[in-house]
Every structure is written in structure tokens, then in C-alpha cells.
């Protein structure tokens, strides 16, 4: 079986602002060979209907690949599949049947129950407040989070936190941080952070851009910028297959920031011994709904945000909401 990268659904970067709408409209992404084979089984009526839909879309949203599998139900199993369908692709985890049944019962009550489900309750109601308090309590219990840390549920996934972390810990772009870059996600994180702080990079990338190893603790101790407001690591670089099974315990007292999106709740965290300042996770991969982001922050790191930080990304604002 040959694996190849699927082209993106949207790609407006190739379109020049000076081009006419007719020129831009012709710039449709060419499907890869694997996409062509996947789309070969699509019915002509479905393709025709989708083509008409695309044609009706205003620019710039018309820059789509009409044959992209995601637009044709490629994630829907064939009718011949029976039993429970499991998702092994990146994204939301599969829940045990008993949990799914309880979620359905609470969220969507039967008509004779004469009650509102959790999906219909106000976020300011005492009923939802109890749901939130329970989620915070269980998270603290499962993760063994010490009392000096606050737990937030945010939006924006890991990419949102790539911006939120430097904006909350660096009061202006001239303040410094150190990033350990050992794969795809930490590389994206430092690229985003460079807009809001001045990063020092400890890179484990090979000359060809690949990554096959982690920097040693000795190297991190030698190269960390002592003026850093934080040291950033990704504990599990899924694209590159590198995982930190234990967080580094460094000589420096610079707070450690951990992107734990793909190993969240899977192992104990040495909160104090590793000097963890922030641990965040795109929670859908392991514990929750798509879009939910967990942020666990030590209280002494609050109230340090850049004044330009949007309220939705400001940890102190979120905590007081």
C-alpha cells in the first residue's frame, strides 16, 4: 500500500491579488495520485452536484479540489460494514460504549423525561456549573494536579496555544523564551511564537528537516537562554515518532511549558520536580470533544500577559470568566 499526503481542501496562497476572478477560478488544486484512485468510485451525480455547489460559492472559498475525499463522504464507512465503527485517524478518540450511552442520555433526553439535556442548558445555569465543576475535579484527580495550579478549558486547539503561551508569559515581543524543536509541532510552535517573543531554538532537526532524536538534558542545560520566561517542549511529536516518557529535570529554574496534546492523561506528570509552568493539550485526541483544549497553569504565571493579548487567549481573563 502506497501512502501519500493528501492535498489540502483550501489553498489560497497560490492566488495572486492581482489576478482576475477568472484567472483565480482556474487555480484548482490538482489531486494526488492517491486521491484520484480514492475518488474513482464516486458517482458522477455526486461529483456533478458538488461541482455545482462549488461554482455557486463566492470567492475566495471556490478554491477547492472538487475530488477531495473529505467532500465526498470518505469518512463514512461502506454499507457493508457492520458493528461499531472506530476512528483510528488523527482527531477525536473513541469512547467506551457505556460512556457514549451516558453522554447520549444526559445530552438528549427522551420526550417523556420533561427535562433539558446538557446540550440545551445555559452555560451560566447552576446545572451546567455542576458539570464544569465535576470536569475540573476529575481532571485534577486523574492528572494529580497540585493545588497551586489552575485548570482552564479553552478553544483553538494546540495552534491557539502556540500563540497564547508566549502572549501570556511575555509582556512584550522583546522578552525571551527557549524552544526545544524536535519535530513538526514544536517547529510550528516556535514559528508562531516568534511573532510575540524572542525565541532561542535548541534544534534536533537534521539537515533534511527530519528529526530522529531528542536533545539531551545536558545539551538543554548548556544552551537554554537564562533570560527565558519559559522553556517549551512537545512531549510527543506524533509526526516524527518521538516521545518524552519523562519530563526533563533541568538545572535552570525556568518554567517548563509542555504541549501534551497526544499523550495527555497517559502517564504521570512530575509537576513540581520538572518545574512545569504550563501544560496544555488539544483534549480531543485523548479525553474529550473536538475543539476542547485543556490548559493547566501555575498561579504565579498569571497576570503577565502582553497588553495586546485577545481576551479569548488571556488565561487570567478566562479564569475570572
The per-residue pLDDT for range 56-83, each reduced to its tens digit, is 655 544 455 667 666 666 667 777 888 7
pLDDT digits 0-9 by tens, 157-213? 889 999 999 999 999 999 999 999 999 999 999 999 999 999 999 999 988 888 888
Give how far Cα 82 sits from Cα of 5, 42, 85, 150, Å. 29, 21, 8, 44
pLDDT at 254: 96
Neighbouring CB atoms inside 10 A of 133's CB total 10
pLDDT digits 0-9 by tens, 227-240? 999 999 999 998 88
- In 3D space, the residue among 66, 80, 77, 58 whose CA is nearest the CA of residue 31 turns out to be 66
Main-chain dihedrals φ then ψ at residue 297, nearest 5 degrees: -130, 140
* Highest mean pLDDT (candidates 61-70, 90-99, 117-126): 117-126
Q: At what angle do helices 184-193 and 157-169 cross, to 10 degrees?
A: 40
187 given a catalytic annotation: no
Q: Residue range 108-120: average pLDDT?
A: 84
pLDDT at 16: 42
Higher pLDDT, 282 or 16: 282
Supply 296's cell numbers: 493547566
Question: Among 70-79, 123-132, 246-255, where is mean pLDDT lowest?
Answer: 70-79
13 given a catalytic annotation: no
Is 15's pLDDT higher than 50? Answer: no
Per annotation, catalytic residue among 185, 229, 263, 271: 185
pLDDT at 75: 66
User: Helix, strand, or coil here: 25?
Assistant: helix
Average pLDDT, the chain: 80
Is 292's pLDDT higher than 90? Answer: no
Is 118's pLDDT higher than 90? Answer: no
Supply 144's cell numbers: 494529580
Higher pLDDT, 321 or 25: 321
Higher pLDDT, 317 or 83: 317
Supply 123's cell numbers: 452555560
285 given a catalytic annotation: yes
Per annotation, catalytic residue among 65, 187, 229, 259: 259
Q: How far apart are CA 227 and CA 244, in angstroms?
A: 25
Give how far Cα 179 sits from Cα of 81, 203, 204, Å. 45, 8, 11
Q: Which residue has the cell 545536558?
A: 218
What pTM did the predictor assign?
A: 0.73
Q: How far apart are CA 185 and CA 304, in angstroms?
A: 25
Amino acid at each position: 500500500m502506497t501512502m501519500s499526503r493528501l492535498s489540502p481542501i483550501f489553498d489560497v496562497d497560490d492566488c495572486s491579488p492581482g489576478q482576475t476572478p477568472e484567472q483565480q477560478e482556474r487555480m484548482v488544486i490538482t489531486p494526488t495520485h492517491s486521491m484520484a484512485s480514492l475518488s474513482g468510485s464516486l458517482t458522477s451525480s455526486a461529483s456533478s452536484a458538488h461541482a455545482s455547489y462549488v461554482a455557486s460559492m463566492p470567492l475566495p472559498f471556490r478554491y477547492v479540489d472538487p475530488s477531495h475525499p473529505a467532500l465526498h463522504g470518505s469518512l463514512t464507512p461502506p454499507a457493508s460494514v457492520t458493528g461499531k465503527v472506530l476512528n483510528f485517524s488523527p482527531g477525536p478518540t473513541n469512547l467506551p460504549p457505556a460512556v457514549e450511552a451516558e453522554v447520549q442520555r444526559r445530552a438528549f433526553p427522551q420526550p417523556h423525561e420533561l427535562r433539558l439535556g446538557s446540550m440545551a442548558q445555559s452555560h451560566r445555569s447552576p446545572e451546567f456549573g455542576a458539570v464544569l465543576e465535576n470536569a475540573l475535579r476529575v481532571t485534577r484527580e486523574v492528572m494529580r494536579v497540585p493545588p497551586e495550579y489552575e485548570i482552564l478549558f479553552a478553544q483553538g486547539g494546540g495552534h491557539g496555544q502556540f500563540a497564547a503561551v508566549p502572549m501570556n508569559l511575555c509582556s512584550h515581543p522583546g522578552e525571551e523564551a527557549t524552544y526545544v524543536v524536535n519535530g513538526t509541532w514544536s517547529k510550528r510552535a516556535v514559528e508562531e511564537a516568534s511573532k510575540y517573543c524572542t525565541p532561542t531554538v535548541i534544534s534536533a532537526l537534521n539537515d533534511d528537516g527530519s528529526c530522529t532524536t531528542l536533545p539531551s538534558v545536558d545539551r538543554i542545560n548548556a544552551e537554554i537562554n537564562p533570560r527565558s520566561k519559559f522553556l517549551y517542549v512537545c512531549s510527543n511529536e506524533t509526526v516524527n515518532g518521538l516521545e518524552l516518557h519523562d519530563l526533563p529535570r533541568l538545572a535552570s529554574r525556568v518554567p517548563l511549558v509542555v504541549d501534551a496534546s497526544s499523550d495527555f492523561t497517559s502517564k504521570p506528570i512530575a509537576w513540581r520536580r520538572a518545574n512545569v509552568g504550563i501544560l496544555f493539550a488539544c483534549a480531543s485526541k485523548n479525553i474529550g470533544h473536538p475543539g476542547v483544549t485543556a490548559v493547566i497553569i501555575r498561579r504565579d504565571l498569571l497576570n503577565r500577559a502582553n497588553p495586546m493579548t485577545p481576551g479569548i487567549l488571556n488565561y487570567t481573563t478566562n479564569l475570572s470568566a
